[in-house]
Structure 1
Amino acid sequence: MLTIRYEMPAGLLNLEAHELYKKLEGPTLFHLAGRRKPPLFVSVLLHGNEPVGWEAIRHLLSQYQNRELPRALSLFVGNITAARYGLRRLDGQPDHNRIWTSGNTPEHAMATQVYEEMAKIGLFASIDIHNNTGLNPHYACVNKLATPFLHLAALFSRTVIYFVRPQGVQSLAFAELGPAVTLECGQPGCPQGVAHAHEYLTACLHLAEFPFQSVPKQDIELFHTVAVVRIPPGLRVGFHGDDLDLRLIDNLDQLNFQELPVNTLLGWQPSNRNILLTVTNEQDQEISGRYFYLNGTELRTCRPVMPSMLTRDIRIIRQDCLCYLMERMLLPNASFGVSP
């Protein structure tokens, strides 16, 4: 399922994400030479409807077509078949950012092959690049709180999120190989997201090492993802209509990265007295009653909380989740190795 190549096919950089199937048969790992080693690892298009990473890479590599890269680059181009249709994933496919752990699908085997290949070669750092569908700022995510991870994240944004769920994401796996970060670059089609990712990748390729001193506290706002909110399968959910099990407020995605007070309205449950959302913490325990309550038919928050990744795209809500819930976190003391 995986193809490994050591050069770019002619004309590949002229193609947009939805056209890559014309030159690539499927998921492809490129090893490109550069002045320094080990390589910077970059993954793009783990979700086919998030082209920002590929667009940034296109621009970057076009600038280096006739000169040496500052550092070797290992580039993984993921779900090309979904990208052809502008979808996160095709029906019947696993999410390509949930396969970086044990599993019995061909996609899990492919992800294992990529991981083992990079474990053998070694890497300087790992960068996974995404768009998102809701109204979110640009931010970086880490899965360990060691100093190199925080420097890698702060180089992209002062807003940094620490998370350990969901499992199976690329950055969580590659955090065992070196500093790893996930970039969230705003909505697809936004040129500022492409420019930001391009600028960041260029800076990372020129890095010789990570500072040993900790990130200054004033340079970072750190948040901890404490829970994931999902819609159970089979529920009728939407923004308009009288036949819904759960009707969400129209401006839902405008609540992202807002510190919501107690009693914030999220939607209505017209015919069910039990909270329909499922909310799981880092131990996979169901804790919906900790964050939400029903006031008649109104679904409201029962404690201050900050959501991220809220979207109006019902397909994405069903394929992934409604949102993540975050709390502010103190910046840890300096640690250059693996955090506990």
Structure 2
Amino acid sequence: MGFAHIVTPTLPGFQLLNADEISLPATSFQFLQALQGPAIIRIKGKTRQRRAVITLLHGNEPSGFLALYKLLQEKFQPFADTTFFVVSVPAALEAPGYRYRALPQHKDINRCFKPPYSGEDGHLAKQVIDYLVDLAPEAIIDLHNTSGSGPAFSVSRRLTAKHQALASHFTRWFIHTDIELGAVMEVPFCCPVVTIEAGGAQDDIAHINAYEGLKSYLSEENVFTQRQHIEVLGQPRRLEIHKEASLAFAERPVFGASITIRQDIEQRNFGTTQPGDILGWVDHAKLEHFRLGGHQRGELVEHYFSADNNQLTVTKPLKFFMVTTRIDIAKSDCLLYFIETD
């Protein structure tokens, strides 16, 4: 289960592979095992234009990698020379497979795309940046999954016609954000970069979204031709949980838990949550367990959420997205993102 030919690496953290020289294993996971570590895979296009795709920045978000495997199986030829970055391979391989964002004791690499680029993960992020700067592609797509179920959507720091056109190959939802986390989409490349959340990591529809979106993005002669109407959602916030708080997901308050969130909260992704809708329950500390990340520093949780009678609800209509029911992700990253909506 190997490769017919591996190009000698020129980057310390990555192996460089040409798609037409890969002997593809029988399954996508065997392909991942054959890679063993981060890889850059180059697919020759019909023209010498250049496009780029980043996959598996998080090891528990497989849709982009599964789409790449399927494209390689089909010997698909894109319109432009295309470079795929497959990044967190060791985390994806860690048993039981596609479970971990990053290996234990490692940083979330999609928080490392900013100075000082320290440690192994920071160095790897800097290599991705340097390679992309030298490559100078006309567009970059960063493919992800959400940890909870929900529809596909896009995220970008820029709100231009080109950014929206790139997103339209995958989804009609476009989230314009100014949140700074150290993500790859925050790097000021000389071309548009858009993050695509293809849907829930466990959902087959997400793998289909990633595959069909990539085929559209890679087949189009003019990649900036808008494929569908785009609905823009502006300036999200993050609902974050303090490390000291204990968290549970259940149908009723869990004894001893600082916060209990309803198990079906994922169903609120991209719907409208109204005041009075019960999201969960909190103990005597109520909203002190939470903080807001994002749009306006210093904003109070109380401006958007209420804990009357220890029931967690909202103070105004909100649209949630990227809701997770993974305790580790909710605690280390955030429980959900939200925007105000009418």
Tell me the TM-score normalized by structure 2: 0.86
Distance 1:242 1:162 in 2: 39
Letter in 2 for 1:43: I
Letter in 2 for 1:263: G
Which residue matches 1:16? 28
209, 222, 233: which one aligns with 1:223: 233
Are 1:239 and 2:249 an aligned pair? yes
Q: Check the 8 A contact 2:133/2:189 in 1, yes or no.
A: no
Q: Check the 8 A contact 1:40/1:125 in 2, yes or no.
A: yes
75, 87, 107: which one aligns with 1:78: 87
Q: Check the 8 A contact 2:24/2:73 in 1, yes or no.
A: no
Are 1:49 and 2:65 an aligned pair? no
Q: In structure 2, the residue corresponding to 1:171 is in which secondary structure?
A: helix
Are 1:28 and 2:42 an aligned pair? no
The residue correspondences of 1:207-286 to structure 2 (distance < 5 A) are 207-210=220-223, 219-240=229-250, 241-286=254-299
Instruction: Kindly tell me the number of residue pairs found equivalent between the two proteins.
Output: 322
Offset, 1:24: 2.3
Q: Check the 8 A contact 2:317/2:341 in 1, yes or no.
A: no
Gap change, CA 1:90 and 1:286, over 3 Å in 2: farther
Q: Percent identity?
A: 24
Q: Check the 8 A contact 2:272/2:341 in 1, yes or no.
A: no
Offset, 1:21: 5.4
Offset, 1:256: 1.3
Which residue matches 1:315? 328
The residue correspondences of 1:162-181 to structure 2 (distance < 5 A) are 162-173=176-187, 176-181=189-194
Distance 1:295 1:305 in 2: 18
Which residue matches 1:333? none
Offset, 1:12: 4.3
Spell out, residue by residue over 1:27-61, the C-alpha distance to the aligned partner (whole angstroms, 9 max, x if none).
22223332223321111111111111111011112
Which residue matches 2:148? 134
Distance 1:152 1:77 in 2: 20
Offset, 1:203: 1.7
Which residue matches 1:195? 208
Gap change, CA 1:62 and 1:210, over 3 Å in 2: closer
Offset, 1:286: 4.3
Spell out, residue by residue over 1:169-206, the C-alpha distance to the aligned partner (whole angstroms, 9 max, x if none).
12222x52312211112223433222222222122222
Gap change, CA 1:29 and 1:94, over 3 Å in 2: same
Tell me the TM-score normalized by structure 1: 0.86
The residue correspondences of 1:139-150 to structure 2 (distance < 5 A) are 139-150=153-164
Are 1:288 and 2:298 an aligned pair? no
Gap change, CA 1:256 and 1:300, over 3 Å in 2: same
Distance 1:316 1:221 in 2: 27
Q: Check the 8 A contact 1:37/1:124 in 2, yes or no.
A: no
Q: Check the 8 A contact 1:225/1:324 in 2, yes or no.
A: no
Are 1:88 and 2:101 an aligned pair? yes
95, 118, 121: which one aligns with 2:135: 121
Q: What RMSD over aligned residues (CA atoms) do the two structures have, in Å?
A: 2.4
Are 1:61 and 2:75 an aligned pair? no
Letter in 1 for 2:190: L
Distance 2:299 2:107 in 1: 24
Offset, 1:274: 4.5
Q: Check the 8 A contact 1:280/1:288 in 2, yes or no.
A: no
Q: Which has the higher contact order (CA 8 A, sep 6+)?
A: 1
Q: In structure 1, the residue corresponding to 2:328 is in which secondary structure?
A: helix
Distance 1:154 1:226 in 2: 20
Letter in 2 for 1:44: T
Offset, 1:242: 0.5
Gap change, CA 1:183 and 1:273, over 3 Å in 2: closer
Gap change, CA 1:81 and 1:291, over 3 Å in 2: same
List runs of 5+ in structure 2 lacking aligned partners.
1-11
Letter in 2 for 1:221: E
Letter in 1 for 2:80: R
Spell out, residue by residue over 1:71-92, the C-alpha distance to the aligned partner (whole angstroms, 9 max, x if none).
1111100111110122122221
Distance 1:247 1:192 in 2: 29
Gap change, CA 1:308 and 1:225, over 3 Å in 2: farther
Offset, 1:210: 4.7
